[in-house]
Amino acid sequence: MPRVDSLWGVSRVWLRFFDVFTKGVWYYLVTTFLEPILYLLSFGLGVGSLVGDVTAAGHQVSYRAFIFSGIIAQTVLFQGFMEGAYGGFVRMYYQRIFQAIAVTPITLSEVLWGELLWDTTKATAAAEVVVIIGVVAGDFPPLALVTVLPLALVSALLFSALGLAAAAYARSIEQMSYPQYLLVFPMFLFCGVFYPLEKLPPGLQILAWCLPLTSVTSLAHSLALGFPIEARAFPILLGWMTFLVAVSRRAMIRRLVK
Amino acid sequence: MADREDSRLIVARLTKRYHLRSGDPPVLEAVSDISFEIAPGECFGLLGPNGAGKSTTIQCISGFYPASSGRVTIGGFDVHRDPKSARQLLGVCSQEDTLDTDFSVRDQLARYATFFRVPLREGRRRADELLRRFGLDDKAEQPVESLSGGMRRRLQVARTLISEPRVLLLDEPTTGLDPEVRRLLWDILMEARGQGVAMLLSTHYMDEAERLCDRVAMLHQGKILDCAAPQDLIERHIGAGEVEEEVRPGVVWRRPPNLEDVYLKVTGARLEVPHAQG
């Protein structure tokens, strides 16, 4: 059980981020919420008008609805990873904020939880904006606002941890391009955001299921569009989350504490 | 809050070894079995060349680095076993700039105070007071990025005082400051000492150590070579007479010995002992 004063420490760090957020609301609105909306408009309206309907998992839905639910997954991936990786690197390497706070009554462990939970909060909020748009457009049931929330939280923590791990291992800010191009973009393109996974050759499908984003898109399709739930998505998602949270915290502590 | 008399810093047989990987044999012993105690109202200097282990010592005392062996207590709290209680009494000014550039000068201080359970309102009040004393009050609403290097250094020292610490760790606090600001900072630090703060000062400036420190420890290759009041160290290692030094070809200075002579002698940076008469 975490101690009460540890929760206090984590909440202080989270509030530090929230404070920065409230000082630059317009900046955050543009950088956090505009991106998924642009994807929605481009793929939903543009590509959607070309494709019409898609059939996936035995369901026929409009391509717009299909892409809306995929963009939920894409949003937690990009928002979580970018904030954890680039935000985390800047705070650790250039600003040295982690080091400054971890000599106060707040420990480094609590600082890192505060960082991860803030990144998670931000990515989850962005994903919920996508759900709101889907509900308003009539593509998702209103209940999706609630049912998607736990999925968004778990996957946002997963990708924030992936980002923070990237920051912990990167020697320079440029090196974060490696996980971005080798992991984030391939997941974005091959994990069922833009087309049903069944369209891929079976070998690639297995590969795609090994990556964490496939479970997120699969569950997003289930919760927002009523596709049947793939049971394997749960252990894959929780396994990746647990693994990456542990790796990111361990790597960051080992980098900072000699 | 611990009693003023209790809030001393005790470093007992502190050793810090660096390992490439945990479990591997150590590659470097950065701090070797050092011990000292700093009483409330005392300023203790840590002198030594780059790489002597000054910053490692400070990182271990703040509890940011674990110690390989030995013990550090602040006001009776073990900094490694109970960092939250120990650090409630501690202010740390690290050698590196760790200012939070996402906040203005004033908010920066007030926000930092909340990490010590100081309410934001009280933090703002203290921030205004500190900014006035440090001559930064006209910059209160400015972003940190707009400050000069010297001002940033001043702000970072001011930030260490926001929690009203009983023990201060200052790692080269005056590096890069002009003489005027350096004196302003000395005055503020001495005022804190007068209020019973125990102070550890790591510095390169011998005149600073000689002026501020009640006692200094000469640190070299992780070991304390000698530790005493500056005047006692000078008498012990150099003697009471004048030192003769050829500063330029044909120009010879005769002057009283100072801490720098001791520093150079005991760290072996200069093997030849300056000419001295007892």
Q: How far apart are CA B259 and CA B211, in angstroms?
A: 10
User: How far off is chain A from B166, nearest CA to CA, in Å?
Assistant: 13
Look at A42-46, A188-192, B247-251 and tell me which has the smallest mean pLDDT: A42-46
Mean pLDDT over residues A210-232, rounded? 95
pLDDT bin (cut points 50, 70, 90) of residue A25 is confident
Q: What is the pLDDT of residue A102?
A: 96
Tokens 């940011």, residue?
Answer: B64
- Residue A107, phi then psi, degrees to nearest 5: -90, 165
> For testing the chain B interface, which of A104, A110, A256 should be mutated: the one with the most B CBs within 10 Å?
A104
Q: Measure CB to CB from residue A103 to each of B85, B87, B97 and give the nearest one.
A: B87
When pLDDT is averaged across residues B247-263 and rounded to a whole number, the result is 88
Judged by CB atoms closer than 8 Å, whether chains meet at B87 and A105 is answered as yes
For residue B240, give both structure tokens: 């009471």
**pLDDT tens digit sequence for B27-73:** 889 999 999 999 999 999 999 888 889 999 999 999 999 999 999 99
pLDDT at B212 over 50: yes
Please check the confidence at residue B174 and state whether its pLDDT lies above 80.
Answer: yes
pLDDT at B6 exceeding the cut of 90: no
The pLDDT confidence band at residue A129, using thresholds 50, 70 and 90, is: very high
Say which of A95, A107, A257 has its CB closest to residue B100. A95
Minimal Cα distance from A100: which residue of B?
B98
> pLDDT of B222-254, one tens digit each?
999 999 999 999 999 988 788 888 888 989 988
Over chain B, what is the mean pLDDT?
90
**Which pLDDT score is estimated for B12?**
96
Contact B98 A19 (CB under 8 A): no
Rounded to an integer, the average pLDDT of B189-195 is 93
The class (CATH top level) of B4-229 is: alpha beta
Nearest-Cα distance to chain B for A142, in Å, is: 37
CB contact under 8 A, B83 and A107: yes
Q: Which residue has the higher pLDDT, A182 or A58?
A: A182
Q: Who has greater pLDDT, A57 or A79?
A: A79
β-pairing, B43-47 with B69-74?
unpaired
Kindly tell me if the per-residue pLDDT of A2 is higher than 70: no
What residue spans define the domains of chain A? 4-256
If you average pLDDT over residues A205-232, what whole number do you get?
95
- Nearest-CA distance from A90 to chain B in Å? 11
Task: State the Rg of chain B over Cα.
Answer: 20
Position B21 scores a pLDDT of 79
Residue A3 has pLDDT above 80, yes or no: no
For residue B100, give the nearest of A100, A103, A258 by CB distance: A100
Q: How confident is the model at residue B276 (pLDDT cuts 50, 70, 90)?
A: very low
Interface test with B, best of A10, A103, A253 (most B CBs within 10 A): A103
Q: Report the pLDDT value the prediction gives residue A140, as an integer from 0 to 100.
A: 94
Alpha-helical regions (H) of A137-211: 144-169, 177-179, 185-190, 202-210
**Per-domain boundaries in chain B:** 4-229, 230-278
CB contacts of A104 in chain B (<8 Å) are 87, 112, 115-116, 163
Are A126 and A76 in contact by the 8 Å Cβ rule? The answer is yes
From B62, B98, B115, residue closest to A106, measured CB to CB: B115
Chain B residues 102-161 with CB within 8 Å of chain A:
102-103, 107, 111-112, 114-117
- Quick one: which of A248, A242, A233, A214 has its CA closest to A111? A248
pLDDT given for residue A160 in this prediction: 98
Does A99 sit within 8 Å of B64, measured CB to CB? Answer: yes
pLDDT at A48 over 90: no
Confidence check: pLDDT of B148 > 80: yes
**Which tops the pLDDT comparison, B245 or A240?**
A240
Q: How confident is the model at residue B2 (pLDDT cuts 50, 70, 90)?
A: very low
B101 touches chain A (CB under 8 A): yes
> Which H, E and C letters describe A94-151, residue by residue?
HCCHHHHHCCCCCCHHHHHHHHHHHHHHHHHHHHHHHHHHHHHCCCCCCCHHHHHHHH
pLDDT at res. B4:
46
- The distance of Cα A239 from the centroid of its chain, to the nearest Å, equals 15
Interface of A with B in 102-131 (CB under 8 A): 102-108
Q: Which residue of A has its CA nearest to B26?
A: A258
Region B105-123: mean pLDDT is: 95
Residues A67-119 have pLDDT tens digits of 999 999 999 999 999 999 999 999 999 999 999 999 999 999 999 999 999 99
Q: Is the pLDDT of residue B277 over 60?
A: no
Q: What letter would DSSP give residue B134?
A: T
Asked if residue B5 has pLDDT above 60, the reply is no
Q: How many Å apart are CA A165 and CA A124, to the nearest integer?
A: 19
Q: Which residue has the higher pLDDT, B242 or B114?
A: B114
Cβ <8 Å between A19 and B103? yes
Assess whether pLDDT exceeds 70 at residue B119: yes
Nearest residue, CB atoms, B87 vs list A16, A104, A257: A104
Which residues of chain B make contact with A103, given a CB cutoff of 8 A?
62-64, 87, 90, 92, 94
- pLDDT score of A1 more than 60: no
Residue among A12, A97, A256 whose CB faces B114 most closely: A12
- The distance of B177 to chain A (nearest Cα, Å) reads 21
